[in-house]
Amino acid sequence: MGKKVAVIIPAYKSRFLQQTLDSMVVQTNQDFTVYIGDDASPQDLKNIVSLYQGKLDIVYHRFETNLGKKDLPGHWERCIEMSKEPVIWFFSDDDLMPCDGIERVLKALQECGEKNIMFRFPLVVVDGENNEMYANPSFTDEKISGYNFLLDKLEGRIRSAACEYVFSRDVYQEGAGFVKFPLAWCSDDATWTKFADCAKGIIALPGKPVCWRNVEGENISNSDCYDSRKIEAINLFLKWIINYYPAKLNEKELHHALKTYVYRILHYSVNNNFGLCELWKICRILWTIHSSVALSVALRLCKVKLNIKR
C-alpha cells in the first residue's frame, strides 16, 4: 500500500529549512512523503535537501521559473501537483511540525476515513530563535464550520497559518484549489473557509501545536513595502465573502466581524498606510453589505488618520 500523507513544502528560503526538515525527521510515525517545490530560489535549497536523503522519504523538484512573485497560490498548486497521496499537509519552509503530528493525522484518518476531511492543529507563533510570541486559544469544539472559522478570523479571535491544516485531495479538488488574491494575502483565509465547507467542517486535532514562524523582514505579513497590494487583496477578499455567503449578509454577527476586521487590518497590519481614496473603495464594498458597516468603518478610520496628522 502507498503512503497516505503528502507533506507539501513550497520552498524559497533556506534560512530555517533545515529546522523544518529536522522536525520531520523526528516524527514518531514516518509513513509520509515530503515534496519540496523550489520556486527558482537564488538560495541553495538542493544541497540542504540532499542532507535528508535516507532520513526522509523526500521528493525535490526545482522549478526553472519563479512563480511566487506573480502568482503565489499558483506555485502552491504546482507543488501539490507533484504529489499523489490522498491526504495533503500543506507546510512552509520555515515552520515546525510537532513530533507526533503525522501519528495524530493517521489516527484521525482511521476514525474519520480519507474522504472529505479537513483537520486542524493548534497553532503557536514563534520568532527566529523559536521563542513563543503567540498561541491560539485552545479548541472549544471538536468540529467547526467554515463560516464560524471565518468569523473567528475576522474578529481576530485566532491567527491562522497554512501549516495548521491537513485536508483530503478530494476536498482540494472540489474546492478548485486555492482562492487567488495579490500576494496571496487573504487567500489562505478564503481557501480554508471554502475547504471547510467542502469537508462539512474542520476537525480539531488537540495536542502539541505546529509552530508558525514570523520573522521581521522574512514574511509578507510584517513587510510594509507591500501595503498597497495588501489593500487591493482586502478589497477582493471582501467581495469574495459577499459572493460566497450571500445568505449571511444580513447577520449582525457578520457585520460586527467585518467592522472589526477592516479596522484591525488597516490600523495594525497596514499600520494606517492607506489613503482616503483606498478607504473609500473599501467602504463602497462594505456599503453593499450594510450602510451601517461602511459608515462605522469610515468614521473610525478617518478619526485615526486625523489624529496621526495632528
Spatial contact of 185 and 233, defined as CB atoms under 8 Å apart: yes
State residue 222's pLDDT score: 47
Give every CB contact of residue 81 below 8 A, 6+ residues apart in sequence: none
The three cell numbers of residue 260 are: 472589526
Question: pTM of this prediction?
Answer: 0.93
Grid coordinates belonging to 37: 517545490
What is the domain partition of the chain in residue ranges? 5-213, 223-309
3-state helix, strand, coil in the chain (%, to 5): 50, 15, 35
Q: Which residue type sits at 171? A: V
Q: Tell me the backbone φ, ψ of residue 126, rounded to 5 degrees.
A: -125, 160
Residue linked to cell 483537520: 119
pLDDT tens-digit map of 2-56 = 899 999 999 999 999 999 999 999 999 999 999 999 999 999 999 999 999 999 9
Q: CATH assignment of 5-213, given 3.40.50.150, 1.20.1260.10, 3.30.70.20, 3.90.550.10?
A: 3.90.550.10
The predicted-structure confidence for 72-131, as pLDDT tens digits, reads as follows: 999 999 999 999 999 999 999 999 999 999 999 999 999 999 999 999 999 999 999 999
Query: Is residue 309 scored above 60 in pLDDT?
Result: no
**pLDDT-based confidence at residue 270 (cuts at 50, 70, 90):** confident
For residues 229 and 237, give the distance between their C-alpha atoms in angstroms, rounded to a whole number.
12
CA-to-CA distance for 291 and 104, rounded, in angstroms?
A: 46
